[in-house]
């Protein structure tokens, strides 16, 4: 991490942090595992004086400023900017480590609803009192938004998380080590630019990696379909199988078959069909059947 603010000499006896980030294909969520040792966990007060993991996410890397003091229009009313601008296109979470008698995070903007279910959740594990040292584990997940307005989820747009997409992320760790001293003892940035907290152009690209090969089967049948013309009962089938494949065999469930990779089939009669794809390759065979997903009237 690049130092910023105070606390430029990192000392693991003062603070030692490990962060892991993950995602699951098919869900617009980012998962975090935060493991930290601190010599003084500062979390008894109800305000921002708290050990904090400050996370900033820009799900579509639109970049640019996103907090009211950085609004491009000079002299903008700060509350107007808070509601129309702050956190709308990139989000900043001040996550309290830990949170006791306090919500788990402060979302720095006019969209506090994004920290609650079904958009986020958090759980802590620790065994210390305020002012003591020890180890903390925090697990949480969030939903990044391309648009998160103050009016709530009805007009919101989740960031679509897809394989190999780059998203903007940075974080800072704010270490308070004395409940009686107002200022913090350290502010550590992942980004080299301290103002990453309010300008998404200073976030770092995190690539949403595909599953590593060791987690994949060498050959794995999968497919999807789309009814392209219900009047003609015309259905397009798309092969989504993984691995090296040399042959495809489709059974459309009406007695007809195909050896094309991506066939289009016309059903003669209405009904729900059991469609089966068999594939073969150098590493073996695989089958994927779907019962009654394909239905035409």
Binding site for Ca ion (CB under 5 A): 14-15, 38-40, 42, 51, 58, 60, 62, 89-90, 175, 177
CB-based contact 104:122 (threshold 8 Å) = yes
Nearest to Ca ion of 14, 251 (CB atom): 14
Nearest approach, Cβ of residue 146 and Ca ion (Å): 5
Nearest approach, Cβ of residue 7 and Ca ion (Å): 9
Nearest to Ca ion of 177, 239 (CB atom): 177
Nearest to Ca ion of 16, 280 (CB atom): 16
Nearest to Ca ion by Cβ — which residue?
Answer: 62
* C-alpha pair distances (Å), 271 with each of 229, 230, 288, 291: 15, 12, 20, 12
CA distance 134 to 38: 6
Per-residue burial over 1-36, b = 16 or more CB atoms within 10 Å of its CB, e = otherwise:
eeebeebeeeeeebbebebebebeeeebbbebebeb
CA distance 124 to 136: 7
CB-based contact 252:275 (threshold 8 Å) = yes
Nearest approach, Cβ of residue 133 and Ca ion (Å): 8
Nearest approach, Cβ of residue 61 and Ca ion (Å): 7
Nearest approach, Cβ of residue 178 and Ca ion (Å): 9
Nearest to Ca ion of 39, 251 (CB atom): 39
Nearest approach, Cβ of residue 130 and Ca ion (Å): 10
> Rounded to a whole number, what is the largest CA-CA distance in the chain?
79
CA distance 287 to 285: 7
Nearest to Ca ion of 97, 241 (CB atom): 97
Nearest to Ca ion of 90, 114 (CB atom): 90
> Which stretches within the chain are classed as H helix?
78-84
CA distance 145 to 62: 11
């Amino acid at each position: 991490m690049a130092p910023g603010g105070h606390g430029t000499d990192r000392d693991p006896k003062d603070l030692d942090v490990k962060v892991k980030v993950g995602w699951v294909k098919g869900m617009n969520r980012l998962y975090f595992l935060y493991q930290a040792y601190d010599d003084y966990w500062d979390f008894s007060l109800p305000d921002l004086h708290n050990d904090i993991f400050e996370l900033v996410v820009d799900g579509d890397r639109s970049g640019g400023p996103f907090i009211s003091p950085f609004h491009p229009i000079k002299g903008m009313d700060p509350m107007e900017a808070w509601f129309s601008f702050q956190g709308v296109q990139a989000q900043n979470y001040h996550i309290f480590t830990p949170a006791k008698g306090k919500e788990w995070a402060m979302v720095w903007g006019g969209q506090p609803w994004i920290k609650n279910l079904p958009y986020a959740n958090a759980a802590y594990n620790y065994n210390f009192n305020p002012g003591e040292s020890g180890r903390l584990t925090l697990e949480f997940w969030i939903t990044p938004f391309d648009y998160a307005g103050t009016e709530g989820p009805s007009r919101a747009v989740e960031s679509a998380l897809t394989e190999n997409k780059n998203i903007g992320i940075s974080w800072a760790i704010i270490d308070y080590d004395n409940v009686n001293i107002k200022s913090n003892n350290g502010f550590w940035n992942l980004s080299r630019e301290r103002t990453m907290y309010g300008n998404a152009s200073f976030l770092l690209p995190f690539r949403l990696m595909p599953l590593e090969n060791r987690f994949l089967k060498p050959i794995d049948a999968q497919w999807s379909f789309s009814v392209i013309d219900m009047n003609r009962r015309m259905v397009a089938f798309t092969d989504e199988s993984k691995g090296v494949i040399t042959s495809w065999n489709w059974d459309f469930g009406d007695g007809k078959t195909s050896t094309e990779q991506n066939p289009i089939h016309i059903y003669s009669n209405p009904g729900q069909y059991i469609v089966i794809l068999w594939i073969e390759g150098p590493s073996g065979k695989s089958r994927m059947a779907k019962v009654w997903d394909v239905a035409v009237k």
